[in-house]
Amino acid sequence: MSGRKESILKAAERSFALFGYKGTTMDQVAKIANVGKGTIYTFFKNKEELFNEIIDQFIQRMKVIAEAAIDENDPFFVNLHRALYEILSFRKEHQFTIKITQEVKEFGTLPAKQALGKFEDAILSFLEKHIQLAIDKGELVKCDPKLTAFVMLRLYIAIVFEWEQRHEPLDKEEIASLFDLYFANGLEKNKKTC
């Protein structure tokens, strides 16, 4: 019969999403996937590689969502906000990343940490690409795209997730206008030469 690899991946994703990396056993994955445990090892070198394959799949899906949020005709900051919002909502709501994030906080499981690192790298390289495009188009002032991507993501996470840990959460429109205020226009009064 075919589809063995797919059913293993499906079962593993489900288990990782429910129980995390540590909490998932290969026996359990085999059982859910209705295969012998040995079969898993014909497709994946070990538990970590199975986990990584699922992460890579997940990142692929994230990329599709991010690119779908970009409209060539819209200005950079509109696209930026839409894309970041979609990506981070997706991440935040998806059981898989919730569980992995929790596991990193609670146990510091190394493969889970590396997974979050991969997510961040994917987001950063997506941002970097679009920042470079915006600079080329003349929409943004000249700046280091890598550093700018890093700062933008950090700022966005601060506004969207960290602020609401101690204050009233901000809605989508507020976030967009804050991003404009802080990042697009700048806070200084009457400085820019036009």
Binding site for a copy of itself (CB under 8 A): 76-77, 138-141, 143, 146-148, 150-151, 154-155, 158-159, 162-163, 167, 178, 181-194
Per rule CB under 7 A, is residue 102 in the interface with DNA?
Answer: no
Cα–Cα distance between 15 and 47 in angstroms, integer? 12
Q: Which residue has the tokens 């206008």?
A: 177
Would you state the structure tokens that stand for residue 129, as one six-digit string? 């690409």
Alpha carbon distances (Å) from 62 to 7, 9, 90, 172, 178: 21, 17, 8, 20, 25
Per rule CB under 7 A, is residue 114 in the interface with DNA?
Answer: no
Selection from 93, 95, 92, 106 nearest residue 22 by Cα: 106
Cα–Cα distance between 94 and 166 in angstroms, integer? 23
Contact by Cβ (8 Å): 175, 81? yes
Query: 118 contacts which partner out of DNA, a copy of itself, none, CB within 5 to 8 A by kind?
Result: none
Query: 10 contacts which partner out of DNA, a copy of itself, none, CB within 5 to 8 A by kind?
Result: none
Contact by Cβ (8 Å): 24, 16? yes
Least distance in angstroms from the C-beta of 113 to a copy of itself: 13
Per rule CB under 7 A, is residue 1 in the interface with DNA?
Answer: yes
Least distance in angstroms from the C-beta of 40 to DNA: 7
Site string for DNA, 13-52 (x = CB under 7 A): ---------x-xxxx------xxxxxx-xx---xxx----
Binding region for DNA (CB under 7 A): 1, 4, 22, 24-27, 34-39, 41-42, 46-48
